[in-house]
Chains A and B, each alone.
Chain A
Amino acid sequence: MFDNFELMAEALLEGARVTVVVTLASYAIALAIGMLLVVMSVSPAAPARWAANAYTQLFRNIPLLAVLFVMYFGLPSIGIETTSWGVGLVGLGMYTGAFVGETLRSGINSIPLGQAEAARSIGLTFGQSLQTVILPQAVRVVIPPLGSLLIALVKNSALVLAVGVTELTAMSRRLIEDDQSRFDLWGVIIGVTVSYLVIAFVLSYLVRLAERRAAFVR
């Protein structure tokens, strides 16, 4: 079943490496976007709230594949040069950022109003209240759902194969369609499944660790 095992393992490892890089890099983009969105969505300035809401509705309601296609084929047509990696990372990041923003917002909403009132009444500005009182508490609440988004992103990252990034799924397809038929179908399927499971388990474990470190006495 595992014909040419070493060759297959090497190829799948390379695909897994790309999947991990794509996942982590686009997650970093998503966290930055989500953070910006949540600050805007709780801001006292109405236009900031509207803009954040518009972004969230747009990116949450368009299929990820459509986002990637629009960026990959649409941007060059208006004179913006793109690369596969650029579209893959930014597209995944912008799409996931909308979900991160909503997750952070629910975290903020879970903090009792009295915390914000106390923060304001000792003279902290809006930004200072968020930074020193609200977000540190909200982050602890949202680590588990942010972890779920990370795992979902591992799987969503397979879609960047559509814009030409050879990550784990694209790599397995290459192995299956190998023109010299060196690899057994089920060997590849088992190999790619195990690879995804290992990535997801390791990331889940790291999320657990983060959760434990952030816990505080309530």
Chain B
Amino acid sequence: MVTISGVNKHFGNLHALKDIDLTVDDGEVVVLIGPSGSGKSTLCRTINRLETVDSGSITVNGKPLPAEGRALANLRADVGMVFQHFNLFAHLTVLQNITLGPIKVRRTPKAQAETRARQLLERVGLAEKADAYPSQLSGGQQQRVAIARGLAMDPKLMMFDEPTSALDPEMINEVLDVMQDLAREGMTMVVVTHEMGFARRAANRVVFMADGQIVEVAPPDEFFDDPKTERAQDFLSKVMTH
């Protein structure tokens, strides 16, 4: 589904991504973890070209990432993205947030797009919020709407960039539950998160990053129970103690 090879990225003097190689197979759930500033969000954002890369190649579905224009827009339509800060369209209702893409990009008739949007809202447990505005929802509710907005495009791949990092603790699980259902249904997913429990339960593979490099890749049980690298051991000892 996604092949990343030899990718490098700089922000000024900071070498944010160093020779990254990673593939994500169809139906696979890959969870990126690592300390802040390790490059995991940046890596995630390069996959739909919200960040450009300095060198290396990225292919999605066998096709190299287009540079700009309509071809890139078409690719992005197939790759759902969920952001840390939800980024729901502030001037549109929940229903309009979800139907905008299908109507404008897929040319789905409005009535059909709305029927589908209501089904998706039902699925994320927010059927009664269709006519609310984003600011009237809690963070957890906004994030579930954002997931529904991504799913409305029938994406081949869903990416989650720290989807629970901006949420109050009691709202984290409602979002993780939706994500876990998705994973169980076979959605291909790339998830950047600090939720180690989610990584252990839902991931097929855990990718551990530090200082812009991929340090360790392993199935979750192996990674959490028996991390091979010192960097990963150190990281886990800091995040798993409480």
Q: Which of A115, A117, A118, A121 has the most CB of B within 10 A?
A: A121
Check A122 against B76 for contact (C-beta < 8 Å): yes
Nearest B residue to A44, CB-CB? B68
Q: Report how many A-B pairs have Cβ atoms within 8 Å.
A: 73
List residues of chain A with CB within 8 A of the CB of B238.
Answer: none
Asked if B36 is an interface residue, CB under 8 A from chain A, the answer is: no
Indicate which residue in A44, A115, A123 contacts B101 across the interface (CB closer than 8 Å): A123
A35, chain B: closest CB distance, angstroms: 18
Interface residues of A in 119-133 (CB under 8 A from B): 119-125, 128, 132-133
Interface 0/1 of A99-142, CB less than 8 Å to B:
00000000000001011011111111100100011001100100
Check B87 against A114 for contact (C-beta < 8 Å): yes
Nearest B residue to A214, CB-CB? B91
- Contact A124/B90 with A117-B50, A217-B135 known, Cβ cut-off 8 Å: no
List residues of chain A with CB within 8 A of the CB of B74.
Answer: 123
Nearest A residue to B89, CB-CB? A133
List residues of chain B with CB within 8 A of the CB of A117.
Answer: 50, 81, 83, 87
List residues of chain B with CB within 8 A of the CB of A122.
Answer: 76-77, 81, 100-101, 105, 149-150, 153
Check A216 against B90 for contact (C-beta < 8 Å): yes
Asked if B242 is an interface residue, CB under 8 A from chain A, the answer is: no
Instruction: Report the separation of the CA atoms of residues A121 and B89 in the bound assembly, to the nearest whole angstrom.
Output: 12
Check B100 against A132 for contact (C-beta < 8 Å): yes
Instruction: Report the separation of the CA atoms of residues A114 and B41 in the bound assembly, to the nearest whole angstrom.
Output: 14
List residues of chain A with CB within 8 A of the CB of B91.
Answer: 136-137, 140, 216
Q: List 17 A-B contacts (CB under 8 A).
A: A115-B89, A118-B87, A118-B146, A120-B73, A121-B50, A121-B76, A121-B79, A121-B81, A122-B101, A123-B101, A124-B73, A125-B70, A132-B100, A133-B89, A133-B100, A216-B133, A218-B90
For the complex with contacts A123-B101, A125-B70, 16 further pairs of A-B residues with Cβ separation under 8 Å are A115-B89, A117-B87, A118-B83, A118-B88, A118-B89, A122-B105, A122-B149, A123-B73, A123-B105, A124-B73, A124-B100, A128-B104, A132-B100, A133-B100, A217-B133, A217-B135
**Measuring CB to CB, which residues of chain A are less than 8 angstroms from any residue of chain B?**
44, 112, 114-115, 117-125, 128, 132-133, 136-137, 140, 216-218
